[in-house]
Homo-oligomer: A and B are copies of this chain.
Amino acid sequence: MITKEKIAEAYQLIQDEICTGLEISDGSAKFQEELWQRNGGGGGRTRIIQSGSVIEKGGVNFSAVYGKLPENIKKAFGVTEDDFFATGVSIVIHPNHPWVPIIHMNIRYFEMTGESGKDLRWFGGGIDLTPHYVIEDDARFFHSALKQTCDRFQSEFYTKFKNWADDYFFIKHRGETRGIGGIFYDRLNPQTTGLDWDDIFEFSLAVGRTFLSVYPELIRRNRNKSFNDEQKKWQMQRRSRYVEFNLVYDAGTKFGLETNGRIESILMSLPPQANWIYDFKASIGSEEEKTLKLLKKEINWVS
């Protein structure tokens, strides 16, 4: 079995690759890095890119932290283990252009160790897309790429993780999905997947690498489209839904806020600007209305 050090190392390489790829794709902005250390063990590399040609605000964060498991977390997991190790790469990109989608990607590994001798570790992660305007061709391209990645490892992964994403990225109080979903998975281990640890680890890296095969292409397809003030306003309104999801429902954000994580790294997922327009109604037949109709679970984008 691959060691946690190797996992963290591979994740750092993924972070490097993605940062390079995004800088090329954007064409003007560069990442700023902040190294931070965690009281209690470990630390991270927060990398922020801002005010680019296309990327208005984005973060590509790596962290590898370890230490004693807080009592409330032990309770939540129902374990007696004392120590944990967690490493991951987490990305959110907010473009400045209403026709370029917001994207989110996360790959992570978590383990708990203690005297019980139980094998408590797993991989989690996913990629999902939040277009301000849903472009059906792009949605099909995106989901097909995810399916291709999944299919290389397990024939059931795509459908299972696509449904998981539909359920997870759901803004209950609005009755709409955050975007067009993608894949979401957690607690992957040999028991839950039928794969060995090395293959699960490789799957995690493959998900990480899928980011660069989809997002620069989606930027390229849409960055030169013209847009008007109304469309910009719509973008700012869609971003407010992103804020609502992340602050009200997102498990990672909640976990970070409750465990006194590094606030600026946790909340880098929030957009540079968001607007709440009172009681907005999309006009019939508009692009906005079309998008709202596609923010639903259970749309098949790969058939």
Contact = CB atoms under 8 A, between A and B. Distances in A.
A303 B279 CA distance: 43
A159 interface: no
Contacts of A274: 243, 273-276
Interface stretch (A133-141, A224-232, A261-269, A291-299): A261-269
Nearest to A278: B48
A266 B172 CA distance: 14
Contacts of A257: 172-173, 248
Interface in A161-218: 172-174
A243 B240 CA distance: 10
A12 interface: no
Contacts of A276: 57, 267, 270-274
Question: Interface range on chain A: under 10, 10 to 19, 20 to 34, or 35 or more?
Answer: 20 to 34
Contacts of A271: 276
Contacts of A236: 273
Nearest to A34: B279
A50 interface: yes
Given A248-B247, A263-B174, A272 B275 contact: yes
B264 A278 contact: yes
Given A240-B270, A270-B240, A173 B263 contact: yes
A23 interface: no
A83 interface: no
A168 B6 CA distance: 45
Closest CB pairs A-B (n = 8)? A247-B247, A270-B276, A173-B257, A264-B279, A273-B275, A247-B248, A48-B278, A173-B263
Interface of A: 34, 48, 50, 57, 59, 172-174, 236, 240, 243-244, 247-248, 257, 260, 263-264, 266-268, 270-279
